[in-house]
């Protein structure tokens, strides 16, 4: 899919750790964004040590995938003092871009990592052309649009910007009730700052009222008696509107989720890849219902964003059963597929295979065995795979690819 400037729209995927990085690459991301131990807005993600960054970048580059590294927390003096060495490490690791939201960080980035592109984080709330032009004059190559922008406002801003300044927009994942994520509730209630990447998500908590003359007596805000999740935002889902974003001039579409598991990354990235490559969104939308999510909406792109005050429960109909490690032909028209178990599944279950670039499809194991750890022992035939992170072998009637995902339906 190309945008109005004739550029291919980039698919940018979250990589909260090694498993997520491999999933993003396998399922068709053009670029990934990740963080090291400090300066990222998802401190609870697995992330990458500074020593791991060169290897992560090399792995991505071997597969033609770019790497963007976040350094977009609100910077205080203690953080600024550490940035020169950190930015030098990013340049040495060969990262393609860093994502910043602080002017001081921007200034240091141009000094200590002059060969790394700088992208301006959504934390900077850039929502007009004048602000974007200031960042561009300082050396920014891309603006991550404020989440509060509409498709129409992005198109208007694109018309006022030079062609070499790119625009990036979030298209999928959790939404924050605060303006561009600048929220103090977590810091106030728990001492963990959202602006340092440690949000406890108190906007998702269950709230009730207590009348001051009747202490201890709680009154539900909602009539149904289940309380209210007053600030609980819907998840963003723009799969059906990628063409509109491209026509507005967006160069890169971004999936939120550096705290998510590899199954989530694989499924969501695979769905967006297929639509960007030309498939009908209506034929792909089912995939996004197969990952844990809150009710979906389109954020601010077509009007006000909406909350889900009735519940904070995730909608979940499928579980990550296993990941394919290798596949070998057996010789009788079947294949031995070695998998790492993630959640329990039974021999009689009909699983679904999630592979890159193609629709998911059912597959039923013909046999199931727990792999022996001793080469002199035989695999143990079983009816149930229930040992997480241990290796099993299943026999199926078609070859599967290493990195493919097997999922099982929740009854």
Higher pLDDT among residues 306 and 85, named by residue: 85
Average pLDDT, the chain: 88
Token couple for 274:
């297929």
Higher pLDDT among residues 207 and 91, named by residue: 91
The pLDDT value given to residue 209? 57
| pLDDT band per the 50, 70, 90 thresholds, residue 339 | very high
Q: How many domains does the chain have?
A: 3
Measure the CA angle with vertex 126, ends 123 and 129; round to 5°.
165
Q: How far apart are CA 97 and CA 90, in angstroms?
A: 9
288 and 194 share a domain? no
Predicted TM-score (pTM) of this structure: 0.87
- 304 within some domain: no
Per the CB < 8 A criterion, the answer to whether 234 and 295 are in contact is: yes
Task: Quick: pLDDT tens for 128-165.
Answer: 999 999 999 999 999 999 999 999 999 999 999 999 99
Span 282-287, mean pLDDT?
A: 97
Q: How far apart are CA 37 and CA 322, in angstroms?
A: 29
Res. 191: pLDDT tops 60: yes
The range of the structural domain enclosing residue 401 comes to: 318-409
Distances, alpha carbon 89 to alpha carbons 36, 212, 391, in Å: 11, 55, 37
Span 381-410, mean pLDDT?
A: 96
List the 318-329 sheet strands across, edge first. 361-363, 351-354, 405-409, 318-329, 335-341, 391-396, 367-370, 380-381
**Alpha-helical regions (H) of 162-277:** 185-190, 242-248, 262-276
| pLDDT band per the 50, 70, 90 thresholds, residue 227 | very low
Task: Provide the CB-side half-sphere exposure for 188 (13 A, CA).
Answer: 6
The pLDDT value given to residue 38? 75
- Please tell me what DSSP assigns to residue 378: P
124 and 189 share a domain? no
The pLDDT value given to residue 47? 82
- 93 within some domain: yes
- 313 within some domain: no
The pLDDT value given to residue 343? 96
Higher pLDDT among residues 375 and 263, named by residue: 263
% of the chain exceeding 70 in pLDDT: 83
31 and 120 share a domain? yes
Helix and strand numbers, DSSP H then E, in the chain: 10, 22
Q: What are phi and psi of 53, to 5 degrees?
A: -55, -45
Residue 98 CB contacts under 8 Å (≥ 6 apart), including other chains: 68, 69, 70, 71, 87, 90, 109, 113, 116, 117, 118, 119
Residue 23: CB atoms within 10 Å: 31
194 and 169 share a domain? no
| pLDDT band per the 50, 70, 90 thresholds, residue 331 | confident
277 and 146 share a domain? yes
270 and 361 share a domain? no
The pLDDT value given to residue 332? 86
- 261 within some domain: yes
87 and 154 share a domain? yes
25 and 139 share a domain? yes
- 401 within some domain: yes
- 125 within some domain: yes
**Alpha-helical regions (H) of 201-279:** 242-248, 262-276
Task: Quick: pLDDT tens for 10-61.
Answer: 999 999 999 999 999 999 999 999 988 777 555 555 689 889 999 999 999 9
- Residue pointed to by tokens 């963080």: 35
Per the CB < 8 A criterion, the answer to whether 371 and 379 are in contact is: yes
122 and 105 share a domain? yes
- 4 within some domain: no
Per the CB < 8 A criterion, the answer to whether 29 and 11 are in contact is: yes
188 and 86 share a domain? no
213 and 242 share a domain? no
Per the CB < 8 A criterion, the answer to whether 57 and 7 are in contact is: no
- 357 within some domain: yes
Question: Any idea what the CATH number is for the domain that residue 85 is in?
Answer: 3.20.20.70
| pLDDT band per the 50, 70, 90 thresholds, residue 223 | very low
Span 339-344, mean pLDDT?
A: 97
Q: What are phi and psi of 78, to 5 degrees?
A: -65, -35
Q: What are phi and psi of 179, to 5 degrees?
A: -65, 115
Question: Any idea what the CATH number is for the domain that residue 398 is in?
Answer: 2.40.30.10
């Amino acid at each position: 899919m190309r945008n109005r400037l004739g550029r291919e729209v980039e698919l940018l995927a979250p990589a909260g750790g090694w498993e997520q990085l491999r999933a993003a690459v396998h399922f068709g991301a053009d670029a990934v964004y990740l963080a090291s131990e400090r300066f990222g807005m998802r401190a609870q993600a697995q992330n990458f040590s500074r020593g791991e960054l060169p290897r992560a970048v090399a792995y991505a580059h071997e597969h033609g995938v770019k790497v963007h590294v976040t350094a977009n927390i609100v910077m205080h003096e203690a953080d600024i003092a550490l940035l020169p060495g950190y930015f030098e490490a990013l340049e040495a690791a060969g990262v393609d871009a860093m994502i910043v939201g602080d002017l001081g960080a921007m200034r240091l980035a141009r000094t200590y990592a002059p060969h790394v592109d700088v992208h301006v984080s959504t934390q900077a709330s850039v929502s007009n052309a004048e602000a974007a032009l200031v960042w561009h004059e300082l050396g920014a190559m891309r603006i991550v649009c404020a989440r509060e922008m509409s498709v129409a406002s992005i198109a208007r801003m694109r018309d006022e910007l030079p062609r070499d300044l790119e625009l990036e927009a979030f298209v999928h994942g959790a939404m924050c009730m605060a303006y561009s994520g600048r929220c103090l509730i977590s810091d106030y209630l728990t001492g963990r700052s959202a602006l340092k990447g440690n949000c406890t998500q108190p906007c998702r908590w269950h709230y009730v009222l207590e009348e001051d003359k009747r202490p201890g007596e709680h009154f539900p805000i909602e009539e149904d008696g289940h309380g209210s999740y007053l600030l609980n935002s819907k998840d963003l889902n723009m799969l059906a509107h990628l063409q509109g974003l491209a026509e507005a001039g967006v160069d890169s579409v971004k999936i939120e989720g550096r705290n998510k598991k590899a199954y989530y990354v694989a499924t969501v990235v695979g769905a967006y890849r297929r639509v960007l490559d030309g498939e009908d969104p209506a034929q792909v939308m089912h995939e996004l219902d197969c990952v844990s999510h809150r009710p979906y909406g389109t954020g601010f792109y077509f009007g006000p964003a909406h909350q889900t005050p009735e519940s904070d429960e995730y909608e979940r109909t499928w579980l990550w059963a296993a990941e394919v490690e290798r596949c070998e032909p057996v010789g009788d028209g079947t294949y031995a597929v070695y998998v790492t178990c993630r959640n329990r599944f039974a021999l009689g279950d009909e699983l679904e295979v999630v592979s890159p670039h193609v629709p998911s499809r059912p597959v039923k194991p013909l046999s199931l065995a727990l792999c022996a750890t001793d080469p002199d022992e035989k695999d143990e035939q079983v009816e149930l795979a229930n040992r997480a992170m241990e290796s099993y072998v299943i026999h199926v009637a078609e070859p599967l690819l290493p990195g493919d995902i097997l999922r099982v339906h929740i009854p």
